[in-house]
Amino acid sequence: MAARPGGSVFFLTDYGLADEFAGVVRAAVFRHAPGVPMIDVTHGVPPFDVRAGALALARAVPHLGPGIVLAVVDPGVGTARRGVAVSVRSSSGCDGPHHFVGPDNGLLPWAVDALGGAEGAVSLPPPPGAGLGTTFDGRDVFAPAAARLWQGTPLSELGEGLDPGTLVRLAPPRCAVSRGALQAEVQWVDRFGNVQLAAGPDDATAAALGDELEVVATAVHRAQRVRAFAALGPGALGVVVDANGRLALVCDRRSAATVLRVQPGDVVTVRTAGPAGGSS
């Protein structure tokens, strides 16, 4: 399939900003494709946390516009894990990125799915031997591939074709719905302490949840469904539909994650409230 040239290169990693890694990869992309516009999505993915990176990508890609995603959260660098470039299904009609470049460790598929699914994929060859080691594929493999795609190089010219169905996939986030309750994995705690769940408003409807709720984490907490943080009183816990269309547990100008003592990967229960009393 011919690439759609142009747009931007959208760059996400767990590199942080204390070291030179993100800047060096940016420089490598510019070296191969002078003038390429690059947008940093984030370099604050927790180190080695492929799941957090995959969720961040899936949240971001519907809002990015045309271009190439270059994503690197790669604890398996230097091993037999594949480096890949993936094209988004052209029939999806999406206005977002049309190609993804990164490690084949589960980082990319959720974001590709969010744009309509994969149409094609290739396995990227290792970098030519340059005596610089094998631990910086962001610079040596993924940056050149992203640059070539941005310039209009067909995906098929970047490496050996592979079945997109063989891409490594992470286990889906946990969410279970029953009458009057739902159990959902904590997907993300943002810097304000808002707790995003692996559940959406349709799940709340299926569970027939009302406006007065209980959240069961390390303790049982009263909560109410609200539309805005400011609708909550001091210290109150709320359930909102967040900017990504997910259910989130929030407080007004306070960290809900601290109140609930939860972190990503924990599972909480949201249920219709019982009689008042006995909860915090």
CATH of domain 175-272: 2.40.30.90
Domain with CATH 3.40.50.10790 in the chain: 8-166
- Span 211-252, pLDDT tens digits: 999 999 999 999 999 999 999 999 899 999 999 999 999 999
- Span 119-132, pLDDT tens digits: 999 999 998 765 66
Q: In one letter, which amino acid is 222?
A: R
| DSSP 8-state secondary structure symbol assigned to residue 155 | G
Domain with CATH 2.40.30.90 in the chain: 175-272
The pTM assigned to this predicted structure is 0.92
**Nearest alpha carbon to residue 184 among 213, 155, 162, 159:** 213
Pairing of strands 83-88, 99-103: antiparallel
Q: Is it the case that residue 5 has pLDDT exceeding 60?
A: no
- Span 96-108, pLDDT tens digits: 899 999 999 999 9
Q: Using CA atoms, how far apart are residues 123 and 113, in angstroms rounded to an integer?
A: 19
Q: Is it the case that residue 4 has pLDDT exceeding 50?
A: no
Can you give the pLDDT at residue 1? 38
CATH of 8-166, one of 3.40.50.2300, 3.40.50.10790, 3.40.50.1370, 3.30.565.10: 3.40.50.10790
> Counting runs of H as helices and runs of E as strands, what totals does the chain give?
7, 15
Query: Do the beta carbons of residue 174 and residue 185 sit within 8 Å?
Result: yes
